[in-house]
Structure formats: C-alpha cells, structure tokens
Structure 1
Amino acid sequence: MARIVVIGAGLGAMAAAARLAVAGHRVTVYERTDTYGGAVGRFEREGFAFDTGPGLLHLPAVYRDLFVKTGKEPLEECVTLTQVDPAARHVFADGTRVDLPNASRAGTVAALDAALGTGAGERWGDFLVRAREAWDRTRRPLLEEPQPADPAPLAREPYPALRTGLLRRPATTLAGIGSRELRDPRLAALLDAYAWSYGFDPATAPASAAVLPYMEQTFGSWYVGGGLRALAEAVYERCRKRRVEFVFGTAVADVLEKDGRAAGVRLATGEAVEADHVVSGAPVPALYRDHVVAWEREDDDVPRHQRLGTGRVTVCLALRGAREPEAVHRTVVHGGGERPAVTVLRPDDPALRPDDGHEAVTVTATVRLGRERDWEAVADGMVVAAGQAVPGLAGRLLWRHVRTPEDVLRDTGSAEVPGPALAGARGGLLPAANLSPLPGLYLAGGWSHPGGGLAHAGMSGALVAGLVVEGEDFRGSR
C-alpha cells in the first residue's frame, strides 16, 4: 500500500483519488479552499442556486466508468441524469432561430434546412462527416491513452479539409471551415459558438476543433438533477466511501524531492508530508510557478501547458415568475459585431429555485483576458442578450450576481478556463502530460492531458490512476 498525496479536490483529482483508493493505496487530498469540486462550483442566495462552472455534462460514460470501477452503486443511483432535448436553441444575429435536437444527425439536418434554407443542413451534415474522420484519428491518443513521449504526430492536422478550388489550400482554422465549407454566416456562427464554449477563439483554433461539435451532437448533452454541483458531491462521497481523506483549508506550498523523485509535499503551514506518489490537480501554470520553481528553465524539460487567453463571465439571475412551458434548457444567443455569444441555461429544476413562482437562470460568455474590463458593463450586455431567450426578463429580474475571471482565479488558481486537447496547431494545444518531469509526480485535471471539460478531467483521473498502479508502461483503456 503506497502513500499518495493529492493536491486539490477538483473533479479530475478526485477521480484519480477514488480509483487509487480502490487499488489499495492510502490517499490524502489537500485542498486550499474549504470545499471540493474545483471549477464545478455553486452560488446560493435566498433559495436560488446556480452552477458557476459547467452546466451540462457530455460523455457521461466517463463518470459511469468511474462509478462502476469504484463501488457497487452505479452513477444513475447517485445522481439523476436527463438528456436535454432540444440540445440547444440558437438565436442568430439576424433573428433566425433554430432548435437542434439532442444526438440526432438527421434531426439536426432537417432543423437547419427548415430554419436556414434548403442545403444548409446538408452542408452541416457533410462537415460532421469530415469531423468524424478527425475524431476517429485522434480519439484514442487524445482521450484514452497517456500522452506519448513524442507528441509530434499529434501536432499534425487531422481534419480532412474540403479543398475548394484547384490551387487553394484547405482551411486550417475553424473560422476557415465556416467561411469555405459551410458558406452561411449563421452556420459559421453555429460552429464558432462551439469553439468559444470551450475557450477557443475560432479565428485561431485549428480545424481539428471540429471534433467539439461532433462530440456534442453525436453523444448528446445531459443535465444532472440539482445542477452539475450534484455530480461533484457524488464523486466526493464516492471518495469518502473508499476512505480517501480530505484536508480542506490547507494549501500545498511545495513538492518535496528526494533522490530525484517526488517524496511528498510541504504544506503552507510548514509541515512536511511524506508520500510515495504525488498527484497534482492544481492548474499547471500555478504548479510550476508556486510549487516546483526549481524546474523553470529554458529547455524542453518544462512541460507544455495550454494558454488560451480566455476566461468566463457568469451572471446568475434570480427571476420572479414561473418558467414558461415552452422554454428550453439551453439557448445560445449569437453575437453581432464585438458582442460575444452568450449561453442561457434555464433548467426546470425545483432544487434551484425557492418555489415554482420563481426561476434561476445562468448566463455565461467567453471573454478574452489580458486587459482591464468593466465586468459590470460586460454583464449588462450579456443580460440584454439573454432577453432574447427569456421573455420579459427585465421586468422579472429580482437581482443578479456577476462572477468574473478574477473570481475564478481566486477559487481555482487560474483565471483561464483550460480547453480540451486538440491535435494540430503544431502541438500548441496539447496540455501538460500526466507524467511530470519529476518521477513520482503526476498531473490530473483540466490543465493536464487530455485537457479541460468535465469528461476530459474524469479521463485524466483514470489515466493518472493507471500510470500509478501499472507504471509508465500503462497504455490506457483497451
């Protein structure tokens, strides 16, 4: 039985902790805040409750596998999962609206043809066929296996772009696919919205980002009863049942090294905690800045980590009046000009509102970081846009709570929201490998392979557990 210290109680770190505990190891999690879940947070006030992180779950099979491998109770006995249908209502800048069904390729094609004109659905369907090729080429190395020691093959673009013209080069960015292959500004906006929702700027995101809409439209979108925070609670309780120890309000100041490998951690209190292995769920930039500064040098031994330069603003809206029967769970209001697209979530969930005469609505937008912003003014614009999804919103508003990238930084250690790993882009969008340069130190969570997002974080936990239990020869799920 090995002693294992886990830094942070995010979803990826807890997924690793539960699996390692089941394998017979003694696992202790040190979390600098007073709660678990990392980016999967909750804001509550006056009987209203809001998810402050992800609002929907994609690829629930990742967490089904976690619960199967760590206990008798399957995921569905611990949380309530419901497919969201329609998957989303899209409101475009010209006023056009379309409801896209959940996980139905034929339904999506028909809906786009009806709303945008004959041929629009076919172009989108043809695009998804090419996106599937990129998915098939990269799914295993990007999601199911540890990152290879030589990631050069993943630096190549896997998307089989449609060449338009004898001498023209294929599209190399997601925005290029929109303009060259989809040939409708509304379809292009639809594609762009998927990139923004994961933190990528479509103007610079590689064509391989086409796997993002493919993944959602193929495997569907799911809501967790009580909000996504309920999933974090379920994973935490599973860890506790497997006798994982949690120490909250305790920051890790450094990773200890002995004989060339990780030997434990030093807490902010000065206490040294010995361990045979250390798993870090902290943001990789913060880990290298705060915990292992001795590694910072100008060579290839410092692992890569994504720097997307984007963060999220979340506006929690407490509304008087009941949710209208024809309301949909998710609406994407596409931007015009400099205004970003906003996502409006209206779950019909009694657990999130004081009574049926009120409604809790969450509005999110991806924003570029790096300059000072008037976040209240940004929130004003987001609420105006949300009015296209919520009838009479202005007259129903009781109060709002704005969560900025600075709040995300305080709670998670980084203002950025990491994106999932993408092939292409010369390898620039591959997160840090799960194996760090220091033997015995492993990286889990959204900042490490295979990247950000609930499903990806869960996969990282599974990969780290496999590497610890089976060693560096572990090649992932089979």
Structure 2
Amino acid sequence: MARIVVIGAGMGAMAAAARLAVAGHRVTVYERAETYGGGVGRFERDGFVFDTGPGLLHLPAVYRDLFVKTGKEPLESLVGLEQVDPASRHLFADGTTVTLPNASRAGVGAALDTALGAGTGERWADFMGRARDAWDRSRRPLLEEPLRPDWQVLGRDPYPAVRQRRLLRVRQAATLAGVGTLELRDARLAALLEWYALGYGLDPRRAPAGAALLAYLEQTFGSWYVRGGLRELARAVYERCLARKVEFVFGAEVSRVAEKDGRAAGVELAGGTVAEADHVVDGTGPDGLPGRPPYREGEVAPRPDPRTGRFTVLLALRGARPPGTPHRTVVHSAGGAGSAEAAEPEAGAVFGGGTAAHPTVTVLRPDDPATRPDEAHEAVTLTATVAAPGPAGGPDWTDPALRERYAELLVGAAGAAVDGLGERLLWREVRTPAETGPVPAPALAGAGGRFLRPANTTRLPGLYAVGGWAHPGGGLAHAGMSGALVAGLIVEGADFRGSR
C-alpha cells in the first residue's frame, strides 16, 4: 500500500483519489479552499440555487465508469440524471430560430431544414459524418491513453476536410471557422458550429478543424442535467471518496512538492509541515506549483494561448417557468448571421484580451424544483465566454463598473429568450473569472500539437498532473478521464496503456 498525496479537490483530482483508494492505497487530499469540487460550484440565496460552473454534463459514461469501478453502483442510483430535450434552442441575429432535439441526428437535420431552409440539414449531416471520422480517429490516443512519447503524431488534424477546387486552386478548411465558411456555407450554421468551440474557450479562427468533434460529441451522446444542479455530481464523487477512506484536509495550501533522491516524496504545506508520500498527484491550476513546470523536456509544454473563463449572471425571477420552456437557449452574437458585421468581432475581443460588444449568451432555465423556492419563481443562469486575466493581461473583472456594464449586456441579450425579464427580476448575482478563475479548454489533435495539454507524468518521478490543465484537457468529462489515466499510471506503472 502506497501513501499518495493529492493536491486539490477538483473533479479530476477526486476521480483519481477514488480510483487509487479502491486499488488499496492510502490517499490524502489537501485542498486550499474550504470545500470540494473545484470549478463545479454552487450559489444559494432566498431558496434559489444556481450552478456557478458548468450547467450540463456531456459524455456521462465517464462518470458511470468511475462509480462502477469504485463501488459497482450505477451513477443514476446516486444522482438524478436526465437527458435534456430539446438539447437547445438557437436565436440568430437575423431573427431565425431553430430548436434542436437531443441526440437525434435525423431530428437535427429536419429541424435545420425547417427553420433555416432546405439543404441546411443535409450540409450539417454531411459535416457531422466527417466530425464522426475525426472522433473515431482521435478518441483513443487523445482521450483514453496517456500522452504518447511521440505526441507529435497528434499534430495531424483528424478531420477529413473537403477538398474544393476553385479555378486552379484547391482549398480545404484548416480551422473550425474555415469549416463553417467552406463546408457549411451558411452564416447561421457557422455560428452554431463556432458556438460549440467558444463555449469550451476555443477560438474558432485558430482551433483546428478537428474541433468539430466537440459538436459531434454533444449531438451524438446527448446533453444531461443532474437534478439539483451539477454540484450534486461533485457531491456524489466526494462522498464516493469518503466511502473509500480517502482523507480530505480543507483550508490546507500546498507550497511545494518535497523531493528526495530525485523523486517526489510528499508535499510541504504553507505552515511548513511536510506530509510524506510515495506519489504526489497535482491538480492545481494553469501555472502549477512555483518552480515546477508540469511537463518533461521534449514533451508538449503548457499552451500559451489567451485564457478564457465564464461571465455568469444568476437571476432570481418572480413568476413560474412557462411550460415547454427549453432548458437551454443560445442567443447568438449580434455580430453574427444576418448582421452587417462579421462573427469575428466576438472572438477577436475575447481572445484578444478585451470584452465583446455583442457576446453570445447561453440561457439555462432548468425545470427543477430544487433550484427555486416554489413554483411561483424561477432560477435562470446566463453565461458568456470572456477573456480571463493571465500573464498577458486581460479585463479587470474586479472593477464594479465593468462587471455591471457586462451584466447589463448579458441581461439585455437574454431578454430575447425570457419574456418580461425586466419586470420579473427580483435580484441578480454576478460571477466572473475574478472569482471562478480561468477555464481550461479540452485537448485537440491537429495544429501541430498546439492544442494538446501537458502529460500526466512529469519531469519529476512520482509526481503526476491531473485535471483540466493536464492531458486530456478541460471539461467535466475530460477531467474524469484524467483521473482515470493518473490512477492507471500509478497502479500499473509503465505497463499502463490506457483506460478500457
């Protein structure tokens, strides 16, 4: 039985801790905050309950596997998991609206044809077929295996872009934005595609065409809601850890990783106490611990891309949620389809470290009694992807005037999705990257490896990196995968070839 210290109680870190404890190891988690879950937070006031992190779950199979492997219990026996149908409603700037069913490729095509015009559904279906190819080609090496020593092979884009001959030139999409322009050939379809990337903190103008698999994942495996909010999933993972005798120490900040004989030997806490360990699992943020880059020489380094996060407005509304209201509505940027501007200004602002004048706003309206004081009220969450402060600068989200101005932008856009929003508003709360931090994007194949994440092994033997800032990147499902990979590397060592 090995002694294992885990730094941080985020979702990936807890997933690793539970799996390691089941394997017979003694696991202690040190978390500097006073609670678990990392970015999967919750805000409660006056009987209203809101998620302050992700609001929907994709690829629930990752967490089903976690609970089966750590206790032989189905996920659905521990949380109320339900598919969201319709998956989303989209309001485009030219006034058109489309409502997309959940996990139905034929249904999505029919909805697009009806709402956006004949032929749009077929073009989208053809695109999804190519996105499926990208998924099939990259799924295992990108998500289910440790980062390969020859990770450069993942620099090739797995998306089979259509070769188009124009006069004497052959063109094909190299980026996600290029797929929208060259293959979808409809500004609204392009806006729909780019929304999937933007929601993950990816710049569609620079993300490789292989990012198309993000849209494929959601439309194929569906969108899922956890009753009571995604915080309930974090609670279930935490309680699974406790049931497997994982020890948690909250309010404990780790200052450095202790070394002995050229390998990790534990951690030193801020007060000077040293906790000895045979292995250390680091789930800290994008910069890691001081003086310890989470990668080995010759392997992929941390991405220098601009950091993004979520600007979130939590709305407490009087009045019941109307029957038939979609769980999720997306109000696309006014600089998108049907306007005189190109869609680029939003991405240009976000990834240029500024603020978008017309942000794309996602409106979440769960039909969940646990989120509201009674049936005469409704809890609504608005989110937009924004620049997060980093080494290169970024907006000062602690500025009250900026927070208020941007909150007004989101509320104004959400008025297109929520009737009578202004008259119904009781109060609102704002959360920005100043409180919730930057959000890591998922790893992607293509672009020469620029969108990969650092390996789970590090240059220091016995030290492992877990969570969204390590392989295979950000997102709830990806964090769970990183936990499985780290546990496999520790339990099986060099023989580990990936999750099964």
Write the distance in 1 (CA, Å) between the matches of 2:460 and 2:297.
Answer: 15
Matched AA of 1:383? V
In structure 2, the partner of 1:236 is: 238
Write the distance in 1 (CA, Å) between the matches of 2:64 and 2:292.
Answer: 39
1:321-340 alignment to 2 at 5 Å?
A: 321-337=319-335, 338-340=357-359
In structure 2, the partner of 1:74 is: 74
Give the superposition deviation at 1:300.
Answer: 3.9
Q: What do residues 381-406 of structure 1 show as CA deviations (whole Å, max 9, x unaligned)?
A: 11111111111111100111110111
In structure 1, the partner of 2:428 is: 400
In structure 2, the partner of 1:286 is: 288
Do the aligned residues in 1 keep the contact of 2:295 with 2:459 (CA within 8 Å)? no
Q: What do residues 281-325 of structure 1 show as CA deviations (whole Å, max 9, x unaligned)?
A: 1114133xx2xx165999647843464422210110010110000
Write the distance in 2 (CA, Å) between the matches of 1:193 and 1:170.
Answer: 21
In structure 1, the partner of 2:224 is: 222
Structure 2 residue 199 is the aligned partner of structure 1 residue 201: no
Structure 2 residue 122 is the aligned partner of structure 1 residue 122: yes
In structure 1, the partner of 2:345 is: none
Write the distance in 1 (CA, Å) between the matches of 2:420 and 2:286.
Answer: 43
For 1:352, which of 360, 365, 371 is the aligned residue?
371
In structure 2, the partner of 1:444 is: 466
Write the distance in 2 (CA, Å) between the matches of 1:433 and 1:331.
Answer: 36
Partner-residue secondary structure (3-state), 2:363: strand
For 1:428, which of 450, 453, 458 is the aligned residue?
450
Partner-residue secondary structure (3-state), 1:331: strand
In structure 1, the partner of 2:308 is: 310
In structure 2, the partner of 1:468 is: 490
Give the superposition deviation at 1:169.
Answer: 2.8
Write the distance in 2 (CA, Å) between the matches of 1:212 and 1:230.
Answer: 24
Partner-residue secondary structure (3-state), 1:401: strand
Do the aligned residues in 2 keep the contact of 1:200 with 1:308 (CA within 8 Å)? no
Structure 2 residue 7 is the aligned partner of structure 1 residue 22: no
Structure 2 residue 400 is the aligned partner of structure 1 residue 372: no
Partner-residue secondary structure (3-state), 2:436: helix
In structure 1, the partner of 2:353 is: none
Write the distance in 2 (CA, Å) between the matches of 1:72 and 1:253.
Answer: 37
Matched AA of 1:471? G
Do the aligned residues in 1 keep the contact of 2:83 with 2:102 (CA within 8 Å)? yes
Do the aligned residues in 1 keep the contact of 2:43 with 2:49 (CA within 8 Å)? yes
Query: Percent of counterpart pairs with the same letter?
Result: 69
Matched AA of 1:371? G
1:226-265 alignment to 2 at 5 Å?
A: 226-265=228-267
In structure 2, the partner of 1:413 is: none
Give the superposition deviation at 1:467.
Answer: 0.3
Greater shift, 336-345 or 4-13, is seen at: 336-345
Write the distance in 1 (CA, Å) between the matches of 2:28 and 2:493.
Answer: 20
Partner-residue secondary structure (3-state), 2:428: strand
Going from structure 1 to structure 2, the CA distance change for 1:149 and 1:297 (only over 3 Å counts) comes to closer
Write the distance in 1 (CA, Å) between the matches of 2:409 and 2:85.
Answer: 27
TM superposition outliers: structure 1 runs of 4+ over 3 Å = 294-303, 305-308
Give the superposition deviation at 1:375.
Answer: 2.3
Do the aligned residues in 1 keep the contact of 2:300 with 2:449 (CA within 8 Å)? no
Do the aligned residues in 1 keep the contact of 2:468 with 2:478 (CA within 8 Å)? yes
Do the aligned residues in 1 keep the contact of 2:299 with 2:455 (CA within 8 Å)? no
In structure 2, the partner of 1:139 is: 139
Residue segments in structure 2 that go unaligned for 5+ positions in a row: 336-356, 397-401
TM-score (norm 2): 0.91
Give the superposition deviation at 1:331.
Answer: 0.5
Q: How many residues align?
A: 468
Q: What do residues 27-56 of structure 1 show as CA deviations (whole Å, max 9, x unaligned)?
A: 000000000000000011111110010100
Residue segments in structure 1 that go unaligned for 5+ positions in a row: 410-415
Do the aligned residues in 2 keep the contact of 1:305 with 1:447 (CA within 8 Å)? no
Give the superposition deviation at 1:149.
Answer: 1.2
Give the superposition deviation at 1:340.
Answer: 1.7
Going from structure 1 to structure 2, the CA distance change for 1:302 and 1:173 (only over 3 Å counts) comes to closer
In structure 2, the partner of 1:341 is: 360
